[in-house]
Homo-oligomer: A and B are copies of this chain.
Amino acid sequence: MSIQFLVEARAGAARAGRLTTSHGEIETPVFMPVGTVASVKGVSQEVLEELGVEILLGNTYHLYLRPGVEQVKKLGGLHKFMAWPRSILTDSGGFQVFSLSDLRKVTEEGVTFRSHLDGSSHFFSPESAMQAQIGLGADIIMAFDECTEHPAELDRVRQSMKLTVRWAERSKKYFEEHKQEVPWNRLAGNSVCSVQTQALFGIVQGGMDRALRKESAERIIGIGFSGYAIGGLSVGEPRALTREIVESTLEHLPNDQPRYLMGVGTPEEIVEYANLGIDMMDCVLPTRAARHGLLFTSEGRISIKQARWASDEGPLDPNCNCRVCGRYTRAYLRHLYASNEILAQVLNTIHNLSFYLDTMRAVRHSISLGRGARFLSEVWSRAKP
């Protein structure tokens, strides 16, 4: 087996579970911080451990370009390279190819694209994306997909969804033939438990059409994966539509396997999707917003750049136990941001991640008591600093 997943409690559609990978246990629902090029920007791995991060997300597209898959593989895989002994998930590269690179050309075979770094030309196919992700050696890797743009004509969405299904088949085939090549499989005694290969997840596409989502889910499940992701959302559609598509797609996903909603969301959204039965989420929002001075607190959002905080001697969030809220004042954090100090980015990111992880811990606790977790959003919606 590559992973184990146990649902331990339910509350309505929501579930609290335990996902075991080759590098440890993850309590679900889980929010995965994004470590784009093998680093969560500004936060050292020991602080991530202190925050209780159990799984990180790495971006295959970025790592493929720099430092390169062969380089990471030669150095023992991502875990060893970045000194992170806990679990890692890599995305397929598909989303970044579609959102970051220029001059991409999609054929049945794969995608030709230009690097956003230096304009050099590259090619990703389902096979090469699998090869890259096996070389990087994350615990959970993703089938190569086309992230359908929004809005798109229904026929375009259908063709794109079908391409993703054919790419999923090829991804699965390549993975099954090459999964023993994962770097840490060679390193005897280096795994936390007896699980020895990576887990491959499939991705459901189908745009904003419920019928195409159902067809995609059924066909991807037919191929057979260790878990299922919902892709192609949070691409500009209204949030009510996102929710509708998530809810309708979840009806078609297996109950006993992990369900991963890619690229979401705000604190309110991650609570809402956990309530709907999502087990895994990732988003750059807490880390990117932190670097721009937008901080999430139990009393609402704070734009720390504002002059109103310049003399505020209170902690960023009086209900937060993170090392930032335990030591520094809003006045100091505002000063660091206004002075363009590196420490502003570091401390802001630590707090936002702490807030997201605390939120998920509260959600899990609530589910384990058989209660829904929407109460958090209701608390937040009343708070206006």
Contact = CB atoms under 8 A, between A and B. Distances in A.
Residue of A44, A76, A327 with most chain B CB atoms under a 10 A cut-off: A44
A329 to B, nearest CB: 7
Contacts of A311: 71, 74-75
A150 interface: no
Interface band, chain A: 35 or more
A74 B41 CA distance: 33
Interface in A291-343: 310-311, 313, 323, 327-329, 331-332, 335-336, 338-339, 341-343
A328 B338 CA distance: 31
A220 B336 CA distance: 37
Contact of A343 (B43, B76, B310, B347): B43
A67 B310 CA distance: 9
A253 interface: no
Contact of A341 (B41, B335, B341): B41
A59 to B, nearest CB: 12
Contact of A46 (B40, B327, B341): B327
Given A83-B329, A310-B67, A346 B335 contact: no
A51 B350 CA distance: 20
A38 B82 CA distance: 31
Given A42-B342, A44-B347, A343-B43, A332 B82 contact: yes
A339 B117 CA distance: 10
Given A67-B310, A81-B331, A81-B332, A343 B39 contact: yes
A343 B75 contact: no
Contacts of A82: 332
Nearest to A72: B335
A329 B46 contact: no
A82 B335 CA distance: 10
A329 B72 CA distance: 12
Q: A38, A323, A346: which has the most chain B beta carbons within 10 Å? A: A346
A345 interface: yes
Interface in A106-126: none
A328 B79 CA distance: 11
Chain B CB within 10 Å — which of A38, A66, A343, A346 has the most?
Answer: A343
A30 interface: no
A45 interface: yes
A44 B342 contact: no
Nearest to A349: B342
A323 B37 contact: no
Contacts of A46: 323, 327
Nearest to A67: B335
12 contacts: A42-B342, A42-B346, A44-B346, A45-B327, A67-B339, A71-B310, A74-B311, A75-B313, A81-B329, A83-B329, A342-B345, A342-B346
Given A39-B342, A41-B343, 12 more contacts: A41-B341, A42-B342, A46-B327, A67-B335, A67-B338, A71-B311, A74-B311, A75-B311, A83-B327, A83-B328, A83-B329, A342-B345
Please provide the 10 A-B residue pairs with the shortest distance between their CB atoms, ordered closest to farther. Answer: A42-B342, A39-B343, A67-B335, A83-B327, A39-B341, A37-B339, A41-B342, A83-B328, A66-B339, A75-B331
Interface of A: 37-46, 66-67, 71, 74-76, 81-83, 310-311, 313, 323, 327-329, 331-332, 335-336, 338-339, 341-343, 345-347
